[in-house]
Amino acid sequence: MTSLLLDMSLKIVHEHFFLSIFLHPPTANLLLKNKVWYTDLRMIHLKSVSKQYTADSIGLADVDLTIDAGEFVSIVGQSGTGKTTLIKLLIAEEKPTSGTIEIGGWDISRIRQADIPLLRRQIGVIFQDFKLLSKKTVQENVAFALQVAGEPYKRIRDIVPRVVEIVGLKHKMDRYPHQLSGGEQQRVVIARSLVHRPKIIVADEPTGNLDSINTQEIMEILKKINEFGTTIVLVTHNRDIVNQLRKRVVVLQDGKIISDEKHGKYHLSATAQ
Ligand SMILES: Nc1ncnc2c1ncn2[C@@H]1O[C@H](COP(=O)(O)OP(=O)(O)OP(=O)(O)O)[C@@H](O)[C@H]1O
Ligand SMILES: [Mg+2]
């Protein structure tokens, strides 16, 4: 039933609305003009990136990685291999010890604290633990992300119902997190991650706490968002998800990329299982 509702709500949202919500104007124009997905724009570029936390703790070791606009990339690997480190570097929650990281051509390797909010507006973030504000309703949680960014009330009133509709929760706008299922809570997080029309969504184990039905629904939403141009970087341990996606798969081991396949499957090396 939820699945059906979700499907319907996704369908009734017009394509151009998706474009206007998700894409920064230059990409949207290109898409509309050429009617093809614009995928040769370098969105994420890591060059010789290492992250050393302490003398004996390495997060990433000399990683080169380029992700084009519109790609959907799964990052897999055993526990402790640097997946979350990679995500944290992309959103400047951590800074690389060496190497350079570019997001949409912007070198964020040594980003100033004052510029971080600007970066975060371009990257929507979804984590495993939902991190919703328990005393706020669905719409208040989503609105809060815009309020803290200083958006005017009129814009908040316009955007919130639209992103909540995308994740199929318009009929539950006034519920509090504890009145929602885990999957619904995660959908609110996705709605919240969309409010700034991000160019990139990074998701670290977004389905880690969900059952398989809710996992499927979250994946359908992420795929839809990706189809309309947003670049997605998904960290997951879920073999079924990765295999169903048939998209690019990057495998990390000991902080290094050991495999990068365009239409990959989930297979770690024997030692990495
Ligand atoms: N703040 C930190 N200080 C010191 N070492 C850290 C820190 N954060 C992560 N590490 C280390 O860096 C390595 C990579 O950690 P990371 O969290 O990126 O792994 P992961 O691939 O996300 O693992 P998991 O699948 O368990 O989430 C690990 O060895 C970890 O212990
Ligand atoms: Mg992790």
Express each pLDDT in 187-220 by its tens digit: 999 999 999 999 999 999 999 989 999 999 999 9
Dump the DSSP string for 171-210.
Answer: GGTT--GGGS-HHHHHHHHHHHHTTT--SEEEEESTTTT-
Nearest CA to ligand 1 atom 20: 80
Taking the C-alpha atoms of residue 50 and residue 145, their distance in angstroms, rounded to an integer, is 31
Distance 75 CA to ligand 1 centre (A): 14
- Domain coordinates of the chain in residue numbers? 2-272
**CB of 273 closer than 6 A to ligand 1?**
no
CATH of span 2-272: 3.40.50.300
Express each pLDDT in 170-181 by its tens digit: 999 999 999 999
Predicted confidence band at 2 (pLDDT cuts at 50, 70, 90)? Answer: low
